[in-house]
Amino acid sequence: MQKVLDQISEKMARAFAAAGYDPSYGKVTVSNRPDLCEYQCNGALAAAKQYHCAPIQIARAVAEQLDQGDYDMVEAVMPGFINLKLSGAFLQQYVEAMRTEPDFGTEKSGAGKTVVVDYGGANVAKPLHIGHLRPAIIGEALKRLHRYLGYHTIGDVHLGDWGLQMGLIIAELHRRQPELPYFDEAFTGPYPTEPPFTLSELEEIYPTASARKKEDADFAREAHIATFELQKGRPGYRAIWQHIMHVSLADLHRLYDALDVHFDVWLGESDADPLIPDMLADLKQRGFAVESEGALVFPVAEPTDRKEVPPCILVKSDGAAIYATTDLATLVQRQRDYAPDKILYVTDKRQALHFEQVFRAAKKSGIIPEATHLEHLGHGTMNGSDGKPFKTRDGGVMRLETLLADMTAFVRAKVVENRIVEDSEVDATTAKITLAALKYGDLSNQPTKDYNFDVERFAAFEGNTGPYLLYTIVRIKSILAKYGAWESLPIQAPANPFAKDVMLALTKFGPTLETALRSSSPNVLCAYLFDLAGAVNKFYHETRILTEENKTLREGYISLIGLALNVLETGIHLLGFSAPEKM
Ligand code: ARG
């Protein structure tokens, strides 16, 4: 459906033309003085320069030409603004169309386009820590947003499953259990099907090995060699790698499920590995990759650079392929398999230079066509409520699971204390409120900014929070349940200013989604939903809905809050959470 702004801008352009002025001045914007009007057109001010006359004169002449049926108020005011308030009839017709069209008539700007969203970024064999929360939450929301707006969308977790951490685990395992067949080069298999470690052992092995690497140079060398041999395909190491993957992935699935984060593909750095040799040969042959101090590098600096952009290192002097190499090879795979129009990476903003280098290399070499939109959304840090980096009590990095458990306990206590639901539903309701609190607390901030994590604030049922949105939804649901079947009731012209505000807010759903997508800012959608919920709550307080005696009015009210409910539920679904039945 055409946006309200576009519709009334078109009509405004025609009014300019009818009054004898250039139609290109007829651009309407949302009012910046909501106390005076809903929309405004400032075109007469600019036109006055061309036509050498007073802007107010033009504004008046244009206002005359507007179809009065569209507006409750058309006012030409000094020095030459045209202030507008939409008519009830206009809004009724528009909002009714939103009610009856699929997806509220949102324009599918992504139709025919493919996007890959690379987010999550979990590292195999290392527990998810709070650093993984933001890419998961933000990426999931942006993935859902793209899908809703018509993109063919592929969400890829892009596992860190190929780096030095694997070599460290292998080296550590070798230290502890050298007798295992994986280390015997004469062993011809088959290797045991049972992994030589449990998940909790694996989670202990990695940090131990990582600490040992810093103190013990020999061990560090062994780990590097093991990484290199794994990448070269040594069978025993590949078998250990399989075990690590198996044990670790099961756990990652469980955690991402708990976060309601779902990937379409679980590819990772290792999947890009087979593409590396051909890619390197090609880049060398075409002169993009050059030897430098024993390493193979891809220079990507541009004369216009204001800060130094070092070359992209493809093969280190020890022969190992690194992060940039697998990312570039992953682009080869994505171009081959999906030929996407856009690839969006969601990671910590400290990786900005890495992506700058990789993107430049990909475009320069033609691995990715010039027209493809490559975007790195570098998110800020989640700090503790004191504004300092989030740490466990003993100063370590907090596991995501611990954070989730703490927050769940906090919310659960509230649910129990307020006797919100039957005992049997406490867990399910708690889980929904917790996710809403956690995700909205994150997403309502600009992704690129840091923010402070604050359980009490995020989980509050009032204020700009996820639970407040859930509460609004639950409240509407309970009114509708009392009313009965409401789904086919048509929208009516607003009977009071509060109904009108709800309708005006509803019309902004589609434009909001577009802005949120274009600027990779789920916070724009959060702010919208908060406003819409506010308008609905205000309407509910000021209007007798169920007890309204006039049947037509009553039906109009019910239909309106029904549509608001559907929009709110769709909105929170796009943010990645959902509402309980009771709260
Ligand atoms: N595993 C990486 C990390 O923990 C994030 C991966 C992001 N995606 C990518 N294609 N590099 O930092």
Domain boundaries, the chain: 4-86, 164-258, 400-575
* pLDDT tens digit sequence for 196-234: 999 999 999 999 999 999 999 999 999 999 998 998 899
Q: How far, in Å, CA of 559 to CA of 485, rounded?
A: 10
- Cβ pair 48, 56 in contact under 8 A: no
Task: Label residues 275-305 b or e (16+ Cβ within 10 Å = b).
Answer: bbeebbeebeeeebbeeeeebbbbbbeeeee
* Residue 44 CB partners (closer than 8 Å, separation 6+): 25, 55, 56, 58, 59, 62, 76, 80, 81, 82
Q: How far apart are CA 471 and CA 460, in angstroms?
A: 10
* Tokens found for residue 251: 């756990």
What is the band of 389 on the pLDDT scale with cuts at 50, 70, 90?
A: confident
Distance from Cα 159 to the centre of ligand 1, integer Å: 7
Q: Closest residue (by CA) to atom 4 of ligand 1?
A: 121
- Using the atom order of ligand 1, give the atom closest to the CA of residue 160: 1
Q: What is the pLDDT of residues 427-461, one digit of tens each?
A: 999 999 999 999 999 999 999 999 999 999 999 99
CA of 359 from ligand 1 middle (Å) equals 15
C-alpha 248 to ligand 1 mean position (Å): 16
Number of the ligand 1 atom closest to the C-alpha atom of 269: 10
125: CA distance to ligand 1 center in Å?
14
CA separation, residue 535 to residues 440, 478, 565 (Å): 19, 18, 12
pLDDT higher than 90, residue 386? no
Task: Annotate 208-252 with three-state secondary structure.
Answer: HHHHHHHHCHHHHHHHHHHHHHHHHCCHHHHHHHHHHHHHHHHHH
The residues pairing with 76 across neighbouring beta strands, listed in sequence order, are 82
Residue in 327, 331, 347 to alter for ligand 1 test, most ligand atoms within 8 A of Cβ: 347
Pocket test for ligand 1, best of 158, 164, 256 (most atoms within 8 A of CB): 158
pLDDT band at 385 (very low <50, low <70, confident <90, very high): confident
Q: What band does 397 get if pLDDT is binned at 50, 70 and 90?
A: confident
The full length of the chain comes to 583
Distance 346 CA to ligand 1 centre (A): 8
DSSP-based three-state secondary structure for 495 = coil
The pLDDT value recorded for residue 422 is: 93
State both tokens at 402. Answer: 């611990």
- CA distance linking residue 581 with residue 583, whole number of Å: 7
Return the residue whose CA atom lies nearest to atom 7 of ligand 1.
121
- Return the DSSP state at 157: -
Cα 493 to ligand 1 centroid, rounded to whole Å: 51
550 HSE (CA, 13 A, CB side): 7
Higher model confidence: residue 418 or residue 528? 528
The set of protein residues with a Cβ atom below 6 angstroms from ligand 1 is 118, 121, 123, 158, 160, 327, 345, 347
Does residue 10 register a pLDDT over 80?
yes
Atom of ligand 1 nearest to the CA of 330: 10
CB 31 within 8 A of CB 41: no
What is the whole-number distance in angstroms between the Cα of residue 77 and the centre of ligand 1? Answer: 55
| Closest residue CA from atom 11 of ligand 1 | 327
| Residues above pLDDT 90, as percent of the chain | 91
Query: What is the predicted pLDDT for the residue at 321?
Result: 72
Mean pLDDT of 265-274: 94
Closest approach atom of ligand 1 to CA 351: 12
CA distance readout (Å), 459 to 82, 158, 434, 550, 578: 43, 31, 7, 39, 15
Considering only CA atoms, which residue is closest to atom 12 of ligand 1? Answer: 121
Tell me the CA–centroid distance for residue 158 and ligand 1, in Å: 7
pLDDT of residue 94: 98
Alpha-carbon span 121 to 103, nearest angstrom: 31
Quote helix, strand, coil % in the chain, to nearest 5: 55, 10, 30
Measure 283 CA to ligand 1 centroid, in angstroms: 23
- Distance from the CA of 217 to the center of ligand 1, in angstroms? 27
Helices then strands, counting H and E runs in the chain, come out as 21, 13
Please name which of 580, 578, 528, 536 lies closest in space to residue 558, comparing C-alpha atoms: 536
Whole-angstrom CA distances from 181 to 169, 178, 191, 238, 411 are 16, 8, 7, 12, 49
Confidence of residue 125 (pLDDT cuts 50, 70, 90): confident
Q: Probe ligand 1: pick from 327, 351, 376, max atoms within 8 Å of CB?
A: 351
Ligand 1 atom nearest the C-alpha of 122 is 1
* Helix/strand/coil for 132: helix
- Look at residue 317 and tell me whether its pLDDT is greater than 90: no
What's the gap in Å between 335 CA and the centre of ligand 1? 19
Whether residue 302 contacts residue 285, with contact meaning beta carbons closer than 8 Å, is answered with: no
459 and 465 in contact (C-beta within 8 Å)?
Answer: yes
Q: Looking at the domain 4-86, which fold is it?
A: Gyrase A; domain 2 (3.30.1360)
Domain spanning 400-575, CATH architecture:
Orthogonal Bundle (1.10)
